[in-house]
């Protein structure tokens, strides 16, 4: 397989570090590796596969000689994504900046890898919760079109980055010591609490996080008629997002067929034996790449509806792993 000159923009953050781990685990073919970050992180040293890399400040001139840039997300995407694209670099971006742009394919490789054909050098990685849901919906959608989805998410603090993890850890200690808590990353105390508010408010009192799941899922499946309602909730879990999904299909799909579809999908792990207390949990999914599905039930009132419980590591499959899989797919299809 062809080897590439690869850059990681945001190499010092949680997703950037997971990208490096994924490159090593998946043996992604790179010729050279360039670590980039903000001015604040420039000069730090990252040791990777026996070599020390000095982190460079990301500038307009950082992308000369680069074939592929993995952007870990954040302000750098808006500042440098299009610049890198114009320099002939293929950009795979983790931020929400370009996801709904008409000229940017939004890719979950298991679902719509074909949309990479004819890409113009900028490819978007979907929102983590969207990726998790799309992988779970995909085998059912291919069998019978999904017409409606109602999803509630239970999102780990690591979805807010290292700062979210640090805040939960700090608050747990503060509560144990009976100290006063002053929230910084989240709107309220997150320790031993749930916050039904992720990202900014948008139309009809839905949050941006909720509307991402609507518009991005429709784009990934190429189906603007799919009706989706989302409620996204931050929970005091360190890692791995969970989702309760209600879905309606065009035809009634027997429960044994649904389970067989999941069992045949290599990106999904079926954990569905409730009588023996076997079902997905964040502890199950953490530090793995699969999407775990369980608690599969027919709806009590609609024979064309199902209920699913879905869990996945949002830093891996919800971000870094999906990004690397897109790169692998580009190489496989000779699109880079």
Model confidence at 162, in pLDDT bands (50, 70, 90)? confident
> Is 114 one of the catalytic residues?
no
Name the more confident of 205 and 1. 205
pLDDT at 74: 83
DSSP run (H or E) holding 190:
none
Question: In this predicted model, what pLDDT tens digit does every residue of 83-123 receive, in sequence order?
Answer: 999 999 999 999 999 999 999 999 999 999 999 999 999 99
Q: Burial-class residue 176 by CB neighbours within 10 Å (0-12, 13-18, 19+).
A: exposed
> Is 128 one of the catalytic residues?
yes
Report how far residue 281's alpha carbon sits from residue 287's, in angstroms, rounded to the nearest whole number: 12
Model confidence at 1, in pLDDT bands (50, 70, 90)? confident
Q: Which domains does the chain have, with CATH numbers?
A: 4-126+319-332 (3.40.50.720), 130-314 (3.30.360.10)
Which residue has 């008629």 as its token pair?
225
Yes or no: say if 283 and 259 are a contact pair by the CB < 8 Å rule: no
pLDDT at 325: 97
pLDDT at 14: 86
Q: Residue 319: helix, strand or coil by DSSP?
A: helix
Mean pLDDT, the chain, integer: 96
pLDDT at 283 over 80: yes
Model confidence at 267, in pLDDT bands (50, 70, 90)? very high
Model confidence at 152, in pLDDT bands (50, 70, 90)? very high
DSSP E strand boundaries for the chain = 4-9, 30-37, 45-48, 51-54, 56-57, 68-71, 90-93, 122-124, 146-155, 227-234, 241-249, 268-270, 291-298, 305-312
Question: In this predicted model, what pLDDT tens digit does every residue of 290-308 receive, in sequence order?
Answer: 999 999 999 999 999 999 9
Q: What is the mean pLDDT of residues 67-85?
A: 94
pLDDT at 238: 97
Model confidence at 137, in pLDDT bands (50, 70, 90)? very high
pLDDT at 34: 96
Model confidence at 169, in pLDDT bands (50, 70, 90)? very high
pLDDT at 161 over 90: no
pLDDT at 13: 87
pLDDT at 73: 80
- Which listed residue (114, 119, 128, 197) is catalytic? 128
Model confidence at 203, in pLDDT bands (50, 70, 90)? confident
Report how far residue 217's alpha carbon sits from residue 74's, in angstroms, rounded to the nearest whole number: 21
């Amino acid at each position: 397989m062809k080897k590439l000159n690869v850059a990681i923009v945001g190499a010092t953050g949680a997703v950037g570090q997971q990208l490096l781990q994924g490159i090593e685990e998946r043996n992604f073919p790179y010729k050279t590796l360039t670590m980039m970050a903000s001015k604040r992180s420039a000069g730090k040293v990252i040791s990777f596969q026996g070599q020390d890399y000095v982190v460079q400040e990301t500038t307009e001139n950082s992308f000369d000689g680069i074939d592929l840039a993995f952007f870990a997300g954040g302000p750098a995407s808006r500042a440098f994504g299009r610049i890198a694209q114009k320099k002939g670099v293929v950009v795979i971006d983790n931020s929400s900046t370009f996801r709904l742009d008409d000229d940017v394919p939004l890719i979950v490789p298991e679902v719509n890898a074909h949309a990479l054909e004819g890409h113009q050098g900028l490819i978007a990685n979907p929102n983590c919760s969207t990726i998790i849901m799309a992988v779970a919906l995909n085998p059912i959608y291919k069998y019978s079109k999904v017409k409606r989805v109602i999803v509630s998410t239970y999102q780990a603090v690591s979805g807010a980055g290292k700062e979210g993890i640090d805040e939960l850890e700090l608050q747990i200690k503060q509560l144990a010591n009976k100290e006063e808590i002053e929230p910084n990353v989240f709107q309220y105390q997150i320790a031993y609490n749930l916050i039904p508010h992720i990202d900014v408010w948008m139309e009809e009192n839905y949050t941006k996080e909720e509307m991402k799941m609507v518009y991005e899922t429709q784009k990934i499946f190429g189906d603007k008629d799919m009706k989706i309602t989302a409620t996204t909730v931050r929970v005091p879990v360190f890692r791995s997002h969970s989702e309760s999904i209600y879905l309606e299909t065009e035809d009634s799909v027997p429960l044994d067929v649904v389970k067989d579809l999941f069992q045949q999908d290599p990106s999904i792990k079926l954990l569905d034996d409730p009588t023996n207390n076997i079902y997905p949990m964040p502890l199950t999914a953490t530090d793995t790449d699969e999407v775990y599905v369980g608690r599969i039930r027919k709806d009590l009132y609609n024979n064309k509806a199902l209920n699913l419980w879905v869990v996945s590591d949002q830093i891996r499959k919800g971000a870094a792993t999906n990004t690397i899989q897109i790169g692998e797919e580009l190489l496989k299809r000779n699109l880079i």
